[in-house]
Each structure stands twice: as C-alpha cells, then as structure tokens.
Structure 1
Amino acid sequence: MSKTLYFNFHLFNGQDDQIKKHAWMVVDNDKGTIEEIGNQDQPKIKSKVNLKGKYVMPGMINVHTHITFNPNSPSGDTDVDEIRSTVRAIRHLHELLESGVTTIRGCGATYNIDIVLEKLRAKGKLKHVPTILPAGKPFGITGGHSDLPNWGYHCDSVDAIRHDVRVGIKKGAKAIKVMATGGVITPQDSMFNPQLSIEDMKTAVEEAHHKGLIVASHAEANPGLKNAIEAGVDSIEHGFEINDEEIDEMLKQKTFLTSTLECNWAMNTNKVPKWEKDKLKKCWSMLIPNIKHAWHRGVPVTVGTDAGCAFTYFDATAKEFELFVKYMAVGNFEALQANVNSAKLIERCQQFNEKIGILKPGYNADFLVLDHDPLKDVKAIQQKGLGVYKKGIKEC
C-alpha cells in the first residue's frame, strides 16, 4: 500500500470548532482517503510533504452550479451550440477547482453536458476538475423558468414528467432539478407564480428516490415553495419567502435549504436589465430576514452560489461564507458548517459513493492549504493561489 504523510500544518477538520496545531495526516494514495490524523508521534513514512506551518481545511462543496451558463449574460446565454457550451463548461470547472471547490452538484446544464463531463472525469479522461453530481437538463413547464434554449425538459402533465425524469436518469442524471416557481433570470414569469404542481413534483421525487437519487427544487416564493416542500424534495433552492409553517415541515422531513446568497448579492451590486433588477429587489428584501430565521431555527443551509447566473462567477464560492457571516448573524465556524451540510446533501444520493466535507479517517483527502486561519477570518478561504488537493493529489 502506497502512503503519503502530510505534516507541519494546523488543521481545521470541518467538524470541530478548533484548530489542531502542528498536525499530520496519512493518506492512502491508492484510495485517495485519509488513513490517520494526529499531532504527536508522527509516523515514519518514506513519502512525505511538509506543508510549512500553513492551515488545512476541507475542500469546498458548491451544490448549486450551472457550468454551461455565461455569468456575463443576464439570462445565462444558453442559446449557443453544444461545442461552445462544452468548452465553456470545462473552463468553468477548472475555475471552480482552482478556487478551492472539490465537489459540485449541477442544478441544470444545457445539452446534459455535466452528465457527459462527469463520466469523462470518472474515467480519468477529464482532469483538474471537481467531482460532479450531475443534474443534466432541469424539469419544468412549457413557458416556465426552465424554458430557455437548449436547457429544460417541458413537462405539462404527470405522465410527461414521469417519462422525462426516467429519460434523464437513463442519460445519467444523479440529482433531479424541478421548477416549482418562476424566477429572476426569465422575464416571462414571476417567483410568486407556481409552475410544476405538487403531483408533478411528487412524481419526480418518486422516480428519483426509487433509484436512490436526490431532488432539488427551484422554489423562490409561495405558493410554489410550499408545493415543493409538500412534494418531498430533498433541497429547496433559494427559498426566499420561507415561513414558519414551511420551516416546521422542512425540519420534520430533514429538507436542506440552498440560499444562493452570493448570486443575489452579486446581481444586486452590478448592472442588470430593469426587469431583472426589479425582481432582485424583491428577492433581496425577503431573503435576508427569512433565510436568517430558517438558519437560526435549525434548517440545514448548504453552500450553493448559483454560479453561472449574472455576475455570479465560478471562482467566487468562498464569498458565500463571508456573506453568511455578514447577513445571517452567525460566526465563522457556524458559516463553515454549511459546507458540511452540502456534503450531507450530496451523500444522500445513494449513487455517490465517497465521503466528503470532513477531514478524518475514511474520508476523501480533499483539502485546501491556506496562509491564514479560516476560523479567525472566514475570508482566508478567498486567498488567491491557495493549495488544492483532491484525493491527496495536488491539483493546483
């Protein structure tokens, strides 16, 4: 068995509110997993790496990404051909990894490109990218939020969504994305208008759960938000109008919440078309108090930036933690627990066979090497040129 000893670093394991000083870690090179961690009696192993007194923490997990979108476009710029979409997606994957993101969940990709790229990555034919839990195309109604060129399935009945979800799963989707409401980037709809029905979404959940997969619902406001929770989805994406009744149900069902704070902050602080800006103002006014309330009531909030939407870039995942601290009234450690929640959400997919989000024996050796302590300053993760290791291999 080939092993590597990493030593002379200070460890934040992702789980405990403390730094383990002068730590060492043994990685099984064949499995890419951690075998042992300590800070005394360093084992004698021939292959070793001196991390020179820096700080080590788990790789980031971004559970809301659109790798085929153009973040310089108000609506994602989906009307380009498959070749250009693929080139764009690969570039965005490199940007994600270089910024410290080691695992992502897709939340909608044109041409099912994230499915294809994950298959290539798993075979070793696509390197220096995060692990992908792909969604492929999302599922919505004709004329709805997913009705963009080359993007969504159009499902206008229970039979249609059952068929299309089965098609998506056959193609390789591991995370099914359904549209419960309208949204910001589509001018033809409103977040207050429901789209897929409760029965539609229940059908999607049933088909996905039969295969051990997870379901995410785009759900910004009511009544569609309530419909998605009632349908039993695994995660609510956005959830701006969430209320106590819905929080009660999410806590009962152990439903995750992805607030996409970075996307809303970025779009609000940059120039977008007036129709989009008007929607954003309403989102922002609801998002801060309601997501904060859900967080403090115990709803598990994940890290998902909506990367690919306007001005939401693929190297900005770390900004989400800073915004959590600023707007959610939590400390650095509490903000970083959203990364653990992201791992728990992805690991709910029974076809994802890796343990991520924490640095301890048996888990992937996916870690970042930083100059400064992230528990003292969460902005330390925004470091340019940080060290990124995936399964014990230095990627950048």
Structure 2
Amino acid sequence: MATTFTNCSLFTGTSEKILKDAWFTVDDTGKVAEVGSGQAPSTNKTVDLGGQYVTPGLTNVHTHITMDPLTGDGGTSRGVVASTVGAVDHLHQLLKSGVTYVRECGSSFDIDIALKALKDQGQLKQVPQIMPSGKFFSMTGGHGDMPNAAYVVDSPDEMRKAVRTALKKGAKAIKVIATGGVMTPNDFMDDPQLSVAEMHVAVEEAHHKGQIVAAHAEGNPGIMNAIQAGVDSVEHGFYVNDEEIDLMLKQGTYLTPTLVADWAIPTFAKGKIPDWEVKKAADALDDLYKNIMHAFHRGVPLTLGTDAGTPFNDFTMAPVELQLMVEQGMTPFEAFSTSVNGTKLMGVDDQYGTLEKGKFADFLVLENDPMADVKAFQQKDKQVYQGGKRQY
C-alpha cells in the first residue's frame, strides 16, 4: 500500500536546498517512489506532516552498543546477559535520537551479530539497521585487550585465523587497533600497536569477503601503519598529518573523527572517572579539532561516528557531533554530508543515506530547518521513520 507524505519542507540530503510545499510517496517496499512539490498525487494513504522539515535519517559508523558510557572502562567486564540487555536499550536510544543505520566497531560477546540476525528475522523492532563487527582485534596488552571484547592476536597468522573466524560468525566490518588510546591506563595515543603486516592480513581477509576494515588510530606512527595496511577507514585520527592525508586521498580512505567522544570526557567526566583518563582527552582536544579540519579542507572524506558507549558519550550524541563540526567551521550541509559518506563507506549508499527515488524512506521529521541551524537535529521528540513507517 503506497503512502504519500504531504505538507512538508523536504531536505533530501543531496544538496543544501530545501524543497518547500513538498510531498513524497513511499511504496509498499518502504522505498521512495516519487518526490515533488505542490499538488500531491492520490494514494491509498496520506500523512500530513504539518509543515515540518523532513530530513534523511542519520548514519553513525562508530558505535559500541554493548558498552556502558557511565563507567571509566566502558563496562566491558559485564556478563553476556547484562551486556545484551544494555545493547538492546542502546539501539532503541540510537534510533530515537535520529540514527537509522549504525556500523558497530567492537561488541562484547559478538552480541551485535546476534542482534542483527534478530532484526533481520523481524524479532527485534525499533532499532537502526546494523552493520555488525563482533569483537575487535587487539595485540596482547593493547588498547583493545578487554575482557570478552577482543580477539587478541600477536602475529599475521593469528590475525588471519581470527578474522576468518569473525567473518564465519557473521561480522560485516572488522575493527583493528593500531594505536593506544584514552581509555587504557598503560598506553598512549602515539603508541603503535598492531603492525602493518598484521593489519594487512585483516584487510586482505575482509576484502576477500567484500567486507570493510576500520582502524582505531589516534597518533603516529600508528595512523600511517593503518593506512599503509589498506584499511577502509581511520577512526579518531587525532594527529593525522599531511603525509598521511596524501596517502588517504590516493587510496580513498575515510576518516571518522568522533569529536564528541573526546569532548565529552573533559566536559562531563571530571571527578567521575580516573584523572589520567580525563587528562588524556583534554590534552588532545584542540589538536583533534585542528587536525581533523585540516584533513577535511584537504578533501579527506569524513564520516559521522560518535564512538558511542565511551565515557559520558551516550547513544544520543550523533546530533551533537554535527554541532561540533559546525562549530569548527563546517556548514550544516557539509556536516550532514558526513552521514551520507558513512553509507558510502559501508557500501549501502544505493539504498540509504538520502531521500531519493528508489532508496529506503528512512527519515526524520523536525520542527526547525536543519540547514539553517544544525541543532535542529537535537530535537528530543522528533518523529523517526524507517521504510516509511513511524517508529518514534
């Protein structure tokens, strides 16, 4: 049964233009069939959107749904039941906040793989589309060497076996740890961890199956190691430099800044998590802003990701990430385009990301114009649709 949505201002995501007095029709497969303005066609069902703004749903390509943002260690020591209950709740929060597609970047007990299967079977409702990663890949004693959350590998052969195992279980994205990070006490952002050879094996095995590889890489030389290994996206990239940018542009590597993850710790976590963890984040924030914006201005494609689940960085922060991008000099449309880039990174941009004919009608209904003020995405009671059906 086709449904026509009428009386809205439509932002399709393809340009900053807002189509006034707009309408669009969604067919019985949940995809956009027609878009126009003025007199709407007659269909089985009509929904009047009351003159509000319609925008594509957001894509968050860096989430950790099994983590607990109210703990310093992310709650990775929790058991499988508590982690699963939390993950389901976090998926609901993500969708309600306006995120209609996520790529996981490390999930305890491979819970995201199981939840993806339940969603595909229709047993898990009101959650985003999920690209699962399962557990991430760390060296012994590395940033990702956390209970129940990682494959711990210390050679190319161990990496090959582990990645093949993850792909067999259903992982659609592989997450490798190239550097130290904020949340671990015994390493730093400029500590290289997995080697080029180890990460290259992960890339080789994932690409054989048509899957993508993300690298946690905050400092140097680890960022360069990850790019040389051929990863599809660099996550965080706090200290990305021109030499690395040159290679990213040559190879088409994406960069996921996760600005809000670093911003949230000195903003909300002082006195609530260890001082060393707060200091690491605070010391890096200005450098992060400067280096990410330099990469953006040089043409590196940025994606929208929040690192949701890290300390005081909950599952509603994708709209805040957009705000931080704009505060650093991007236009609202440039910031939103990082969401579209996320669908390109995941290889689903033919079906998701913008509201065009033939794509799924995953969209938000907002009171205010998001291209005039990107904080419009932060509306608490926004309407959220998937496949033309209202979820919130």
Letter of the structure 1 residue corresponding to residue 22 of structure 2: A
1:252-271 alignment to 2 at 5 Å?
A: 252-270=250-268, 271=270
- Out of 184, 187, 196, the residue aligned to residue 186 of structure 1 is 184
Alignment-derived partner of residue 355 in structure 1 = 351
Moved more, 109-118 or 336-345: 336-345
Alignment-derived partner of residue 342 in structure 2 = 342
Alignment-derived partner of residue 243 in structure 1 = 241
Matched, 1:22 2:18: no
- Out of 61, 78, 81, the residue aligned to residue 79 of structure 2 is 81
1:390, distance to aligned residue in structure 2 (A): 0.4
Matched, 1:288 2:284: no
1:319-338 alignment to 2 at 5 Å?
A: 319-327=320-328, 329-338=329-338
Counterpart CA distance in 2 for 1:46 and 1:175 is: 40
Contact 2:340/2:349, CA 8 A, preserved across alignment? no
Counterpart CA distance in 1 for 2:278 and 2:286 is: 12
1:353-392 alignment to 2 at 5 Å?
A: 355-392=351-388
Letter of the structure 2 residue corresponding to residue 86 of structure 1: T
State the SS of the aligned residue for 2:364: strand
Which digits, 9 at most, give the CA deviation of each residue in 1:113-144, with x for residues without a partner?
00100010011010000011000000010110
Alignment-derived partner of residue 108 in structure 1 = 106
State the SS of the aligned residue for 2:49: strand
Alignment-derived partner of residue 196 in structure 2 = 198
1:46, distance to aligned residue in structure 2 (A): 2.3
Which digits, 9 at most, give the CA deviation of each residue in 1:363-388, with x for residues without a partner?
11000000000011100010011000
1:353, distance to aligned residue in structure 2 (A): 8.8
Q: Which runs of 4+ in 1 moved over 3 A?
A: none
State the SS of the aligned residue for 2:53: strand
Alignment-derived partner of residue 42 in structure 2 = 44
Which digits, 9 at most, give the CA deviation of each residue in 1:319-349, with x for residues without a partner?
011100112x1111111111111111112xx
Counterpart CA distance in 2 for 1:228 and 1:56 is: 38
Matched, 1:208 2:194: no
Contact 1:24/1:39, CA 8 A, preserved across alignment? yes
Letter of the structure 2 residue corresponding to residue 44 of structure 1: S
Matched, 1:153 2:154: no
Counterpart CA distance in 2 for 1:321 and 1:353 is: 20
Letter of the structure 1 residue corresponding to residue 119 of structure 2: R
Alignment-derived partner of residue 302 in structure 1 = 303
Alignment-derived partner of residue 278 in structure 1 = 279
Counterpart CA distance in 1 for 2:62 and 2:84 is: 18
Counterpart CA distance in 2 for 1:308 and 1:241 is: 22
1:200, distance to aligned residue in structure 2 (A): 0.5
Alignment-derived partner of residue 58 in structure 1 = 56
1:40, distance to aligned residue in structure 2 (A): 3.3
Moved more, 35-44 or 315-324: 35-44
Unmatched segments (≥5 aa) in structure 1:
none
Compared CA separation, residues 45 and 383, structure 1 to 2 (3 A): same
- Out of 130, 133, 138, the residue aligned to residue 132 of structure 1 is 130
Contact 2:57/2:98, CA 8 A, preserved across alignment? yes
Counterpart CA distance in 1 for 2:16 and 2:78 is: 46
1:149, distance to aligned residue in structure 2 (A): 1.1
Contact 1:162/1:204, CA 8 A, preserved across alignment? yes
State the SS of the aligned residue for 1:196: coil
1:145, distance to aligned residue in structure 2 (A): 0.9
Contact 1:70/1:308, CA 8 A, preserved across alignment? yes
Number of residue-to-residue matches in the alignment: 389
1:94, distance to aligned residue in structure 2 (A): 0.5
TM-score for both structures, normalised by structure 2: 0.98
Contact 1:354/1:364, CA 8 A, preserved across alignment? no
Moved more, 369-378 or 183-192: 183-192
Letter of the structure 2 residue corresponding to residue 325 of structure 1: V
CA RMSD, Structure 1 to Structure 2 (Å): 1.0
Moved more, 212-221 or 36-45: 36-45
State the SS of the aligned residue for 2:51: strand
Which digits, 9 at most, give the CA deviation of each residue in 1:166-194, with x for residues without a partner?
00000000000000001111112111111
State the SS of the aligned residue for 1:363: coil
